[in-house]
Amino acid sequence: MNIINTPIEGLLIIEPQVFYDARGFFCETYNEERYLKAGITQRFVQDNMSKSQYGVVRGLHFQKGDAAQAKLVQCIRGSVLDVAVDLREGSKTFGEWFSVELTEENHRQFLIPRGFAHGFSVLSEQAIFSYKCDNLYHPEAEGGILLTDPELGIDWRIPQDKMLLSDKDRRHPLLKDLSL
């Protein structure tokens, strides 16, 4: 397993070891002992999966307070651009974002600690996206940031007229109007 640090402290790209042969491939997507040895201490308690088509953009979502969640995400089928925005109070990178392309070919995972907003855009015809959370989902603690916030300037690699958004995601506030 290869761990890649990003410019934002705590955000990690994880490349699992993949074994290929004539039958296909095998990789271990999670092993608590290996992750602990690598300094990844989150204990995951909930797994989620979504299927989306090209142009779907989900986010930017987060859980507030005691319901905050760290996530370990990966794309099982297709390709997504995964984005995390630093919302940690007092962080020197507050309001900054980082993105990584996760694909079924590169098998990369993205570790997003608590205190970040998260979203992704689907770049392929379809994508199956999987994520582990270290805390259970609590709808009353849900928050979000408008994913087209001009101050953030995130390039989702999807033209705005092709973006497929939920009504909820269209109504999120701008980062500057957010109350954490």
User: Could you list the active site residues?
Assistant: 61, 131
Closest CA to 106 of 87, 88, 89, 123: 123
Coil, helix or strand at residue 99: strand
Distance CA 49, CA 147 (A): 21
How far apart, in Å, are the Cα atoms of 23 and each of 19, 20, 27, 72? Answer: 10, 8, 13, 27
φ/ψ of residue 105, rounded to 5: -80, -40
The CA distance from 129 to 51, in Å, is: 6
Which element (helix H / strand E) includes 63? strand 57-63
121 closest CA partner among 75, 170, 72: 75
Sign of the alpha-carbon dihedral angle for 34, 39, 43, 46: negative
